[in-house]
Structure 1
Amino acid sequence: EIFTNPEPEKKNQSADAGIPDHLRYLLSCSFMRHFPVEPLLSSPTACRAGCYRRNAVVVADSKACPDLVVIRSGFCRVMKRLMVNRNDSPRQPDDATSMSSGASGRSGGSSSSRASKAKVLAETRLPVLQPSKVSAAVAASAPDAALTDQDEDKKCVAVEICILKPGDVFGLSDIMFKDEKIHEVEDSASVSLVSNGAECVLLSKAFFIQHAPERVQRRVRAAVQPYPNEQVFEQNYYTQVAWNRYRRTVFKLALNRALAAGANRKAAARSSVK
């Protein structure tokens, strides 16, 4: 009896004995639940492991990358390369000047209305897009990196979209299974993946699409949303820059007022002593 019916733990150990560590980790991820093991074992080139040093570009173009990237240890950053106006405004300098001159002629609003507008702006929740120090590396490897004479009013920036931790997957948002045509996926922007020092497992997208059963496809469709298009990223960038500029201005005004009030109190104290 003891030889014919081993304990469940021993069964699992014997069943997993021939599975490499990176495949075992891949199969433990939620999006790979119910994925067949046999195709993975019979196609060793479909899945591989890799280690990436800090600031190494793992994926330059998510649209062109043939692999899904699963973070096994460490962290990676999802980055987006943008071509934006050099003045960090959605309007060109000429347009901004004309708009500001027109606004100055109409600036008859009360201080209370301006304060209420400022309060609304301060309470607005904005997406976090932080300029990155590795923007040069991403921009150089991303498509359309060269600037032309027509882009003299533009500059290349890279913004951080999110940070991926162990167990997260990069590239699922670009997956379209057989006979699928999803406009949101087709119109989504290309992004890049930059390592913060990470060990990753790479799985072929074509292999995943070919062997993913229906329940895995439904799970992916329900859990993953494609990235927005280029225009949304650009607008978010301009909004974030405007918010940062406004926040710095308000902080400086508050600091100057506090310093002035402190100086006035000290002067009043000295005069009262005299």
Structure 2
Amino acid sequence: MLQHESRLSSEQPQKNPPNRIHLTVRRLTRGGTFGVGCSLYTDQPQVALVSNGAECLMLSKKLFWEHVTEQCLDHLRQKEYPYPNDEELLEQYWRLRSWKAYQSHLLKQIYIDMYSG
């Protein structure tokens, strides 16, 4: 699981926002890569890999760049994509949070309407 740590803006609609939030940006699956994107794209946010017991093969950047072929780089460019910046991540976070709040409110209202009348 790739996580991104970000600071919340004080302008967000929450009374006492936490100083930090952890977001799952992407799930790493078998054969996936992590950390190569920051070498392929500029201005990437800091992300951390959180493993729940998976085995990972770690290569130094120096070793990687000494032995990577152009064909391998082309393949990685097709598979890898840049991570969103902090602003985009926070926008997605608040949109999802608003949707979940609306969804919860709507389900409660449907339940009340079904069983109160």
TM-score, normalising length from structure 2?
0.85
SS of structure 2 residue aligned to 1:187 = coil
Name the residue aligned to 2:90: 234
1:192 equivalent in alignment to 2:116: no
Q: Which amino acid aligns with 2:25?
A: I
Structure 1 vs Structure 2 CA RMSD: 2.2
- Larger fraction in helix: 1
1:79 equivalent in alignment to 2:3: yes
- Larger fraction in strand: 1
Name the residue aligned to 1:251: 107
**Residues 1:221 and 1:173: Cα distance change in structure 2 (over 3 Å):** same
CA shift for structure 1 position 222 = 2.5
CA shift for structure 1 position 166 = 2.0
**Residues 1:85 and 1:214: Cα distance change in structure 2 (over 3 Å):** closer
CA shift for structure 1 position 164 = 1.6
1:90 equivalent in alignment to 2:12: yes
Return 5+ residue gaps in structure 2 as ranges.
Answer: none
Distance 1:153 1:197 in 2: 31
CA shift for structure 1 position 218 = 1.9
**Residues 1:156 and 1:195: Cα distance change in structure 2 (over 3 Å):** same
Distance 2:116 2:44 in 1: 50
Name the residue aligned to 2:23: 159
1:201-247 alpha-carbon deviations (Å, 9 max, x no partner): 11112211122122222222232111111111111111111111111
**Residues 1:212 and 1:230: Cα distance change in structure 2 (over 3 Å):** same
**Percent identity between the aligned chains?**
26
**Residues 1:162 and 1:214: Cα distance change in structure 2 (over 3 Å):** closer
Distance 2:24 2:52 in 1: 12
CA shift for structure 1 position 91 = 4.8
Larger relative contact order (Cα-Cα within 8 Å, sequence gap ≥ 6):
1
Return 5+ residue gaps in structure 1 as ranges.
Answer: 1-76, 94-151, 177-184, 262-274
**Residues 1:221 and 1:165: Cα distance change in structure 2 (over 3 Å):** closer
1:95-244 paired onto structure 2 within 5 Å:
155-176=19-40, 185-244=41-100
1:66-101 alpha-carbon deviations (Å, 9 max, x no partner): xxxxxxxxxxx1111121257xx73576xxxxxxxx
